Amino acid sequence: MNMPSDIIIRAYRPADCPELLRLFFDTVHTVNARDYSPEQLDAWAGGRPDTEAWGCSLSEHFTLVAETSGIISGFGDIDNSGYLDRLYVHKDFQGMGIATALCDRLEMGHERITTYASITARPFFLKRGYRVVRENRVVRHGIELLNYFMEKTL
């Protein structure tokens, strides 16, 4: 895994929100397509996100943004309790160590971290020392999605 030498990890800025929403939508609909049906992808990441709610949540959490050559290549956020809410890497920057770099910073200062990991993300978290606590089934817009509640103790 070769992380690009020009990657910058920085704090989230409210002006980032529209780009993070696009990255989220595009990542779900491309990277996660191998593990979820088109209906599930649409239920997970529909075309009309609540920009205001996302902006509030990202601002309230410790949120980091990865930039590579001036392009937002990923982002992640964690709350004060150690709940890792979101971690997404742009489809063109997968496998370059960006998620690892984000997680390394997001996990700092927490004794216990929890997350809901997709089928796609589960192997990444297992490699980082997380364990599956339980399978989780969530229903969004009448469509069931499988993910995993995972935790890591540092």
Averaged pLDDT in 10-residue chunks for the chain of 154 residues: 74 97 96 96 87 95 96 97 98 95 97 98 98 96 96 95
Residue 134 backbone phi and psi in degrees, to 5? -165, 155
With H, G, I as helix, E, B as strand and everything else as coil, classify residue 105: helix
Query: Which residues are CB-contacts of 96 (< 8 A; sequence separation ≥ 6)?
Result: 1, 2, 3, 4, 7, 68, 73, 89
Whole-angstrom distance, CA of residue 60 vs CA of residue 141: 26
User: Helix crossing, 51-60 with 17-30: angle to 10°?
Assistant: 100
Distance, in Å, from the CA atom of 108 to the CA atom of 113, rounded to the nearest integer, reads 10
- CATH number for the region 7-110 comes to 3.40.630.30
- Alpha-helical runs (H) found in the chain: 17-30, 38-44, 51-60, 98-107, 122-127
pLDDT digits 0-9 by tens, 72-111: 999 999 999 999 999 999 999 999 999 999 999 999 999 9
In the chain, domain spans: 7-110
pLDDT at 50: 86
Q: Quick one: DSSP state of residue 81?
A: T
The span from the CA of 60 to the CA of 56, in Å, is 6
